[in-house]
């Protein structure tokens, strides 16, 4: 075995380390603060990177958007969508959520597959941050992309069905539902991309587990559009919040195991 | 092929014996139910089967957590075996339920909350198996399966709650005399005995199947190891 | 002599220990054993060229040292921290260049570096970006999209990314892959100036001549174990090719 024979000057012995300081033995409040800022800075960097790259290439968003429009079109012909006021709320709510879920699935799949194919997932994993920061950033990015598509689809559907979909409570439900879907979807997509049957694996894994989101979102949306009272809407909103909290927490805990090798 | 160890052999024989006794109880000892007649006896197979399928998936959930914590492959083998046995009981539940439903509700199937959630649960575990099949690296396969087992199991009660907030026509068995539940009934003591015995039998049967499946899996692994040794020698 | 630091946080500077060290490192993929007990020690400031045929396990070894994979058996330490337990600390001190550039084609060179600077918590980002861009000679192309870069330029940017946080240890996995003559020569220069500047470097390569030219020590990995290790002074360049062939066969 070798001995230290060469005496080249070693880097950074005189200057302060350029990268963030290592973890101390005893944690103080400022250490927790630093940990939190590291976490959010990394997660924010991931979101910013996804957004910046996407805005240049527009690969993902265009695919999601076009697909959504096609889904709406297909629904129009496949189901004789009645225009009667009585069932309109239910029908529109259903069309809305099926569209979001299909478009969202595409977005989730591609967003993570691109990272894996280019090998850039390693770049993320090499950074000295908690794995969950990567999860958080990826989920936020996916949520953002789905939201961008929804922002375009909602007014469109309003026009097509002659029914205002820009109700603030409805937007809240859309946000909560999308969050739940993105949270579980990002976790499962991270696994699905390694599978042989990669394209179908995500829907197979995700749909059964995301049923509560679908049910609650559709029911709540329909109730809101039908101008029902809070006791019809409330329980569904609570269910959505509960689902979001539970699954974000679970994802945080298991994400490490998904990305390590 | 080496014989299974003493404990497993005893378990196999005991399970078979219990099953015989349970069947006897169901057909000979339990009284005939007033409103539904003979077909109600399926209940003694259907409900234990359903409970055992939940037990199987609970075992998968726990084994998944244990595997992630410790990295011990045995937990992965247990988890995977439990899913397979669980699916077996799931299919049994659905079939016996259908047979019961036809005379009782005049339909083979209905989209009420329990059935719907149960089907979704079955789909989750089929997805679990498909996930495993699509992954080659055994370590990654075990890890991902464990994660999905955890996520899937947690989603089931939430799914049930979400679907339940619709009306149900599934009979509520234990003790309830609710008017909205069709086909519900109160159990006499003889029915209770039969039911509990059947439940016990099915649970033992589950562990018997699980143990045999785990043994098969261990043997398969040994074959693989021997193969690898031969090839590299 | 190999000693292990007792407290965390102590850097390798103050002690005569190995910067990179593995003991009986083993890695299995299922039933296939890729690394079969690798014993390696790289001293602080040393430049080691790791050579070997395809399938010998070079990339696997590097991935374990880069904290991207876990060892099945045995031990590994980088910069004094054990793997995988101290992976977080190791990553802080590690710069990795693999044959994937780990760059985002739709972002500019500047944006790529900015992203990684944020991920690594680099202080005085703007200054640091300028410095590394100068060092790899890409200052003029900082606002260009990376997908317009040639492979050679991408590798240089990858090195810039890797040194951004001033790591003590650098790992290079076949950095010369896909480069033409000019790009190779340029990379030689960058490696010597930027990467090797007192840092501990472990580089895998197929190119025997290049390894001899750049490294302090040559190590050959064959069939999952270290089969040969010699310092540059001890090797006769003329016969090294034969030595290599005899070791790997």
What pLDDT is attached to residue A85?
A: 64
Task: Looking at the complex, report in whole angstroms how far the Cα of residue C208 sits from the nearest Cα belonging to chain A.
Answer: 21
- Range list for CATH 3.40.50.300 in chain C: 16-93+169-249
What pLDDT is attached to residue A45?
A: 94
Q: Are B60 and B83 in contact (CB under 8 A)?
A: yes
Interchain CB contacts (distance < 8 Å): A and B: 86
Of A32-46, A246-260, C235-249, the range with the lowest mean pLDDT is C235-249
Q: Which of C44, C91, C216 sits opposite A127 (nearest CB)?
A: C91
Q: Flag whether pLDDT at A227 surpasses 90.
A: no
Listing DSSP states for A120-161 in one string gives HHHHHHHSSS-HHHHHHHHHHHHHHHHHHHHHHHHHHHHHHH
* Chain B residues lying within 8 Å of A250, measured CB to CB: 150-151, 154
Q: Flag whether pLDDT at A17 surpasses 50.
A: no
pLDDT-derived band at B27 (thresholds 50, 70, 90) equals: confident
Pairwise CB contact (< 8 Å): A126 & C121: no
Q: Are C121 and C92 in contact (CB under 8 A)?
A: no
Higher pLDDT, C215 or A79: C215
What average pLDDT does this structure show over A162-169? 84
What average pLDDT does this structure show over C137-149? 91
Residue A160's alpha-carbon distances to A88, A96, A222, in angstroms, are: 12, 12, 17
Task: Quick: pLDDT tens for C78-130.
Answer: 988 888 888 888 999 999 998 788 898 889 999 999 999 999 989 888 999 99
Q: Does the domain spanning C16-93+169-249 belong to CATH 3.40.50.720?
A: no
Please give the structure tokens belonging to residue C130: 């300028």
Of B221-225, C87-91, C239-243, the range with the lowest mean pLDDT is C239-243
What average pLDDT does this structure show over C20-35? 85
C contact test, residue of A1, A20, A36, A137 with most C CBs within 10 A = A1
What pLDDT is attached to residue A156?
A: 87
Q: Which residue of C has its CA nearest to A137?
A: C119
Please give the structure tokens belonging to residue C116: 């990684």
A contact test, residue of C119, C195, C232 with most A CBs within 10 A = C119
What pLDDT is attached to residue B209?
A: 93
Pairwise CB contact (< 8 Å): B228 & C32: yes
Q: What's chain B's length in residues?
A: 233
Q: Which of A18, A20, A48 sits opposite C128 (nearest CB)?
A: A18
Q: Which residue of A has its CA nearest to C194?
A: A11
* Chain C residues lying within 8 Å of A26, measured CB to CB: none
pLDDT-derived band at A81 (thresholds 50, 70, 90) equals: low
By percentage, how much of chain C surpasses pLDDT 90? 29
Pairwise CB contact (< 8 Å): C120 & A128: yes
Listing DSSP states for A49-95 in one string gives HHHHHHHHH-HHHHHHHHHHHHHHHHHHHHTT----HHHHHHHHHHH
**Closest to C230 in 3D by CA, of A2, A101, B24, B60:** A2
Task: Looking at the complex, report in whole angstroms how far the Cα of residue C33 sits from the nearest Cα belonging to chain B.
Answer: 10
Higher pLDDT, A78 or A129: A129
Of A35-39, A196-200, B35-39, B83-87, the range with the lowest mean pLDDT is B35-39
What are residue A172's phi and psi, to 5 degrees? -65, -45
Interchain CB contacts (distance < 8 Å): B and C: 10
Q: Which residue of A has its CA nearest to B120?
A: A208
Distance in angstroms (rounded) separating the CA atoms of residues A91 and A187: 30
Q: What contacts B68, CB < 8 A, 6 or more positions away?
A: A254, A257, B143, B146, B147
Of A1-5, A208-212, C163-167, the range with the lowest mean pLDDT is A1-5
B partners (3+ CB pairs within 8 A) are: A, C
Pairwise CB contact (< 8 Å): A126 & C46: no
* Chain A residues lying within 8 Å of C9, measured CB to CB: 22, 24-25
Higher pLDDT, B181 or B149: B149
């Amino acid at each position: 075995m070798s001995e230290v024979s060469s005496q080249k000057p070693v880097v950074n012995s005189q200057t302060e380390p350029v990268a963030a300081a290592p973890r101390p033995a005893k944690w103080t409040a400022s250490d927790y603060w630093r940990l939190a800022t590291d976490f959010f800075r990394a997660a924010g960097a991931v979101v910013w990177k996804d957004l910046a790259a996407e805005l240049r290439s527009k690969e993902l968003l265009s695919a999601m958007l076009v697909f959504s429009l096609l889904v709406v079109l297909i629904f129009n012909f496949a189901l004789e969508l009645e225009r009667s006021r009585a069932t309109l709320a239910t029908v529109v709510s259903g069309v809305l959520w099926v569209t979001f879920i299909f478009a969202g699935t595409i977005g989730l799949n591609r967003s993570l597959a691109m990272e894996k194919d280019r090998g850039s997932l390693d770049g993320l994993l090499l950074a000295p941050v908690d794995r969950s920061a990567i999860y958080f950033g990826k989920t936020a990015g996916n949520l953002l992309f789905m939201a961008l598509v929804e922002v375009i689809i909602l007014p469109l559907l309003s026009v097509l069905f002659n029914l205002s979909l820009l109700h603030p409570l409805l937007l809240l439900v859309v946000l909560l539902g999308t969050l739940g879907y993105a949270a579980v979807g990002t976790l499962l997509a991270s696994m699905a991309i390694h599978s042989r049957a990669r394209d179908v694996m995500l829907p197979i894994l995700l749909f059964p587990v995301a049923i509560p989101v679908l049910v609650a979102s559709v029911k709540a949306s329909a109730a809101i559009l039908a101008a029902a009272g809070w006791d019809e809407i409330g329980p569904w909103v609570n269910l959505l919040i509960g689902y979001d909290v539970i699954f974000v927490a679970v994802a945080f805990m298991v994400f490490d195991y998904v990305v390590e090798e | 092929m080496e014989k299974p160890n003493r404990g497993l052999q005893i378990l196999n024989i005991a399970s078979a014996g219990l099953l015989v006794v349970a069947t006897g109880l169901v057909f000979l000892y339990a009284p005939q139910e007033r409103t539904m007649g003979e077909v109600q006896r399926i209940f003694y197979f259907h409900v234990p089967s359903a409970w055992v399928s939940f037990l199987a998936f609970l075992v998968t959930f726990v084994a998944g957590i244990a595997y992630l914590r410790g990295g011990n492959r045995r937990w992965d083998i247990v988890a995977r075996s439990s899913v397979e046995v669980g699916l077996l009981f799931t299919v049994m539940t659905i079939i016996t339920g259908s047979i019961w439903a036809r005379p009782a509700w005049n339909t083979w199937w209905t989209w009420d909350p329990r059935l719907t959630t149960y089907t979704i649960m079955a789909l989750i575990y089929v997805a679990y198996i498909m996930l495993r099949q699509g992954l080659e690296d055994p370590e990654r396969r075990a890890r991902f399966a464990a994660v999905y087992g955890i996520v899937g199991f947690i989603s089931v009660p939430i799914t049930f709650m979400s679907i339940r907030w619709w009306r149900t026509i599934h009979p509520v068995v234990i003790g309830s005399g609710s008017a909205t539940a069709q086909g519900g009934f109160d159990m006499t003591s003889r029915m209770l005995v039969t039911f509990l015995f059947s439940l016990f039998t099915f649970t033992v049967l589950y562990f018997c199947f699980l143990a045999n499946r785990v043994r098969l899996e261990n043997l398969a692994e040994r074959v693989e190891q021997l193969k690898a040794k031969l090839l590299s020698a | 002599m190999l000693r292990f630091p007792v407290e965390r946080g102590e850097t390798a500077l103050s002690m005569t220990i190995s910067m990179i060290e593995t003991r009986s490192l083993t890695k299995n993929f299922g039933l296939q054993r890729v690394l079969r007990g690798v014993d390696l020690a790289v001293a602080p400031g040393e430049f080691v060229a790791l050579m070997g045929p395809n399938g010998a396990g070079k990339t696997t070894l590097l991935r374990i040292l880069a904290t991207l994979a876990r060892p099945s058996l045995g031990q590994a330490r980088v910069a004094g921290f054990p793997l995988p337990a101290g992976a977080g600390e190791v990553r802080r001190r590690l710069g990795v260049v693999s044959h994937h550039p780990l760059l985002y084609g739709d972002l500019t060179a500047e944006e790529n570096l900015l992203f990684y600077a944020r991920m690594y918590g680099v202080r005085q980002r703007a200054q640091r970006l300028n410095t590394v861009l100068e060092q790899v000679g890409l200052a003029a192309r900082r606002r260009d999209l990376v997908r317009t870069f040639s492979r050679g330029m991408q590798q240089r940017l990858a090195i810039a990314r890797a040194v951004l946080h001033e790591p003590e240890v650098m790992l290079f996995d076949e950095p010369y892959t896909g480069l033409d003559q000019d790009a190779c020569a340029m990379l030689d220069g960058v490696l010597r100036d930027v990467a090797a500047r007192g840092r501990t470097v472990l580089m895998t390569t197929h190119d025997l001549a290049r390894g001899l030219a750049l490294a302090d020590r040559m190590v050959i990995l064959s069939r999952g174990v270290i089969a040969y290790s010699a310092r540059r002074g001890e090797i006769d360049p003329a016969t090294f090719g034969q030595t290599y062939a005899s070791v790997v066969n």
